[in-house]
Amino acid sequence: MSQFRDLFSGHAKDYGRYRPSYPHALFEWLAAQSPTRALAWDCGTGSGQAAVALGAVMQRVIATDASAAQVANAEPHPNVTYGVGPAEAPELDPGNVDLVTVAQAFHWFDAPRFFEAAARVLKPGGVLALWTYRSARITPAIDPIESDFYTNVIGQDWPAERKLVEEGYAKVVMPPPFTEIPAPRFQLTATWSRDDFLGYVSTWSAVHQHRKRTGHDPLAPFAERLATVWPADAVHVVRWDLALRVARRA
């Protein structure tokens, strides 16, 4: 992408409330790969889920996002400093960052310019980590309803960049001076009610685009279908497999 398109500011509070949290083990592993634990840059931080988790394992975290509304709703943490700015032009000193993380946001970036920026700010031996997730797994009865909604109801309303998420960033090429390193498998989990899950789905950019395109809210019929297999008083464990790409700067 060459120009920032803000698809989330209109529902920044909901985005911060309903997005699942990342496992602590992910951040412990990333910090252990870094030259030191002095400084991390969380780029495309959104409402700060990854930044706050990084704050528990890194001494200092600079978290930036191009959306001022997202940053305004970010969760505070004593080790995290938030700022508004593009991924491709961070106001960071060269060669000073141990770890750069991009959680569920890389597909919005101008990739060549971002890689150049990350290489500039990272120390030699510093680590770059990109990750994403898509398909939730709940129960055999619920999963097909979610899949049908995602693909057939709002499928045409996903932006083109979503293809990178569907592919799990598998086709992203880490350019020099980065060398990819193997990463463990991690999983996100959340214990949610039906309303919690509907809140999460309501943050999808395609839901908002569908409303604009058609004038109709796709969530109401989806909620009705979901209610046939998910009672209001029931909670389920929701799981997402994390697609993680990690590289070290030469």
For the chain, what are the domain ranges?
9-249
Mean pLDDT of all residues in 200-216: 95
Helix (H, G, I), strand (E, B) or coil at 123: strand
Confidence bin at 11 (pLDDT 50/70/90)? very low
Per-residue pLDDT tens over the stretch 86-137? 999 999 999 999 999 999 999 999 999 999 999 999 999 999 999 999 989 9
CATH number, span 9-249: 3.40.50.150
| Closest to 99 in 3D by CA, of 47, 60, 48 | 60
* Mean pLDDT over each residue of the chain, to the nearest integer: 93
Helical (H) or strand (E) element with 61: strand 60-65
Model confidence at 66: pLDDT above 80: yes
Q: What is the pTM of this model?
A: 0.90
Between the alpha carbon of residue 19 and those of residues 12, 85, 127, 197, the distances in Å are: 11, 22, 25, 10
